[in-house]
Amino acid sequence: MQLKVDIIGIDAGGKPIVFLNKTDADEIGVTASARVSLKAKKEVTAIVNVSTKSVKKGHIGISEEIRSSFGHTPHVVDVEISAFPRSLQFVRSKLEGKKLLRHEIYEIVKGVVDGTLNESEIASFVTALHIQGMDLDEATSLSLSMVETGKRLNLRNKVIVDKHSIGGVPGDKTTLLVVPIVAAAGLVIPKTSSRAITSACGTADRAEALMPVNLSSEEMKGVVKKTGGCIVWGGSLELAPADDIFVRTEYSLYIDPLLLPSIMSKKKAAGATHLVIDIPTGRGAKVKTINEADYLAKDLIELGKRLKIHTHCVLSYGEQPVGYTIGPALEAREALQVLMNEANVPDLLDKACNIAGAIFEITGRKNGYSLARQIVRSGKAEAKLREIIREQGGKSTIKPRDIKVGEETIRVKAKSDGKLLWISNSSMVEIARMAGAPKDKGSGIMFSKKIGDTISKDDVIFTVHAEKSRKLSRTHELLERLEPVGIGKRTDMVIHTVREIPELKRSFVLER
């Protein structure tokens, strides 16, 4: 059916949508969310929205996405119902609990990337994966398909190392230390990282308080060739782009079944040969128990083998924030101070040296931890970070005080004496986000006390920083509602008493 093209001036965040009048949609035989093929010199597949009033009969409203797929604006397009995509057949197999074959998974991933699977269908696939699970053959196929439908870095080095954290612990600026330590020892570590999704701060957010992170693939490779390392935002490099789409759906549904292929596909696309994965473990982390962490490590190592990435996992203590800060600027400043040997942040330094040490050992060196510690102590790590900052386009002489933090503050004080027994990671994330993190780089939390510290009534336990007073004031309300820390004696036994049906909430960590 020939339809006249209306430019409706809508871009739909990457989705290839068109709007049809109800009468035309009926005549073509499609309903909302169905697929049509549009022909005008070339052929383009689009997802249908049906409009009863705003698009006239005989017309079709096309989004900016469709216009750019055509490369020009056709006056008229020929619109027909599109063949049922084969990928949908395979999505349904997963619904039935069938194990999917390599080419079936490839078809699905391709359908996700090229937009022929609509949002409902992707949500259904992600839900089915969550419920039915996937085995390691399927995880391998998913990882490889996600690599094949995206770009690759193609560095030529024989050994390329990488690190990753499963996430879930706020304040985890370990990468800002590990990359310069490892690069200072002569290894190649092209680190791509993500921005916060559910957290208060992603590694790309905290690195951005030190230097530009939105580099092109070529710029990134230039930095790595000169310095051995980099810390860039992976979002614009189009490594495993399917993952960005899956993540949107997972976020909406609060489930995360694609964790393994998501991690490993990005590492494979970046060319990693050796990989260390940090699994923060404990109440308040994404992974709650050591047993659960060991199972995850087993899968990650086996999946690494199949993808030819030599993988080790490090289980780390995840029951409280790492170091004393949460929020992009506060964390960047803390990391810089530790590398300058100006601040004593023992947990952060210990974690960074352990992870860097594990990278050293997986690539054949001995005494990795001591080597890492030595590289920090000697100032070589600091020098390497400044080199990376310069090559990424930042100011290499940056001082901790140059990194501005929010000046609006709330100091949260102890209501009683005792020991600091626990810190709620999820409450801290909620508070930091309410104060403006990660969008407002200077917003976040600075701790004065950590678990195990002795507290006197009215001691400041932590300080909330915000850039904007509007956001600080809404944080006040939240602080009154939450119980972010626990102070008491180790002999206090009751956690809480349940007297009526509790409001069930689940905190959810989705980071890449």
For residue 8, state whether it binds a copy of itself (rule: CB under 8 A): yes
140-148, 179-187, 248-256, 366-374 -> range binding a copy of itself (CB under 8 A): 248-256
For residue 270, state whether it binds a copy of itself (rule: CB under 8 A): no
Instruction: State how far Cα 242 lies from the chain centre.
Output: 14
Q: Least distance from C-beta 246 to a copy of itself, angstroms?
A: 11
Q: Least distance from C-beta 53 to a copy of itself, angstroms?
A: 5
For residue 253, state whether it binds a copy of itself (rule: CB under 8 A): yes
Contacts of the segment 297-305: beta carbons below 8 A, 24+ positions apart: 299/136, 299/139, 299/260, 300/260, 300/263, 300/264, 302/136, 303/136, 303/139, 303/140, 303/143, 303/260, 303/261, 303/264, 304/264, 304/275
92-100, 173-181, 356-364, 369-377 -> range binding a copy of itself (CB under 8 A): 92-100
For residue 92, state whether it binds a copy of itself (rule: CB under 8 A): yes
| Nearest by Cα to 203 from 186, 179, 225, 228 | 179
For residue 288, state whether it binds a copy of itself (rule: CB under 8 A): no
Among 130, 221, 380, 390, binds a copy of itself (CB under 8 A): 130
For residue 100, state whether it binds a copy of itself (rule: CB under 8 A): no
Among 43, 64, 137, 319, binds a copy of itself (CB under 8 A): 64
Sheet holding 460-466, edge to edge: 325-326, 444-447, 460-466, 408-413
Q: Least distance from C-beta 407 to a copy of itself, angstroms?
A: 19
Among 2, 73, 120, 216, binds a copy of itself (CB under 8 A): 120
245-253, 276-284, 288-296, 482-490 -> range binding a copy of itself (CB under 8 A): 245-253
Within 8 A by CB and 6+ apart from 103, the residues are none
Residue 338's identity, in one-letter code, is V
CA dist., res. 361 & res. 370, Å (int): 11
Among 39, 43, 127, 238, binds a copy of itself (CB under 8 A): 127
The two structure tokens encoding residue 344 = 């004593």
Site for a copy of itself in 427-456 (CB under 8 A): 433, 439
Instruction: State how far Cα 447 lies from the chain centre.
Output: 24
Residue 336's identity, in one-letter code, is L
Handedness of CA 377, 380, 384, 386 (dihedral sign): positive
For residue 121, state whether it binds a copy of itself (rule: CB under 8 A): yes
85-93, 182-190, 354-362, 417-425 -> range binding a copy of itself (CB under 8 A): 85-93
Do 358 and 374 meet the contact criterion of CB atoms below 8 Å apart? no
Q: Least distance from C-beta 139 to a copy of itself, angstroms?
A: 19
DSSP structural state of residue 287:
B
- Angle, helices 241-253 vs 102-113, to 10°: value is 80
For residue 320, state whether it binds a copy of itself (rule: CB under 8 A): no
Cβ proximity to a copy of itself, 20 vs 142, nearer residue: 20
For residue 97, state whether it binds a copy of itself (rule: CB under 8 A): yes
Among 69, 82, 116, 124, binds a copy of itself (CB under 8 A): 124
- Mask of contacts with a copy of itself, 222-241, x by CB under 8 A? --------------------
Among 2, 73, 89, 344, binds a copy of itself (CB under 8 A): 89
CA dist., res. 490 & res. 472, Å (int): 33
Instruction: State how far Cα 258 lies from the chain centre.
Output: 12
For residue 462, state whether it binds a copy of itself (rule: CB under 8 A): no
Q: Least distance from C-beta 61 to a copy of itself, angstroms?
A: 8
User: For tokens 């990359």, what's the residue?
Assistant: 179
Cβ proximity to a copy of itself, 91 vs 211, nearer residue: 91
- Marked catalytic residue, from 24, 162, 205, 256: 256
Active site residue 256: yes
Do 33 and 116 meet the contact criterion of CB atoms below 8 Å apart? no
Look at strands 310-317 and 274-281 and give their pairing: parallel
Q: How many residues bind a copy of itself (CB under 8 A)?
A: 53
| Nearest by Cα to 512 from 220, 161, 119, 246 | 246
Q: Least distance from C-beta 341 to a copy of itself, angstroms?
A: 36
| Nearest by Cα to 63 from 9, 117, 5 | 9
Q: Least distance from C-beta 106 to a copy of itself, angstroms?
A: 16
User: CA angle at residue 496 from 492 to 498, to 5 degrees?
Assistant: 150
Do 407 and 395 meet the contact criterion of CB atoms below 8 Å apart? no
For residue 158, state whether it binds a copy of itself (rule: CB under 8 A): no
The two structure tokens encoding residue 343 = 């601040």
23-31, 306-314, 348-356, 409-417 -> range binding a copy of itself (CB under 8 A): 23-31
DSSP structural state of residue 322:
S
Do 446 and 465 meet the contact criterion of CB atoms below 8 Å apart? yes
The two structure tokens encoding residue 119 = 């949002």
DSSP structural state of residue 395:
-
The footprint of a copy of itself (CB under 8 A) covers 8-13, 19, 26-27, 29, 31-34, 49-54, 61, 64, 88-89, 91-92, 95, 97, 118-124, 126-128, 130-132, 248-249, 251-255, 433, 439, 504-506
Residues marked active site are found at: 256
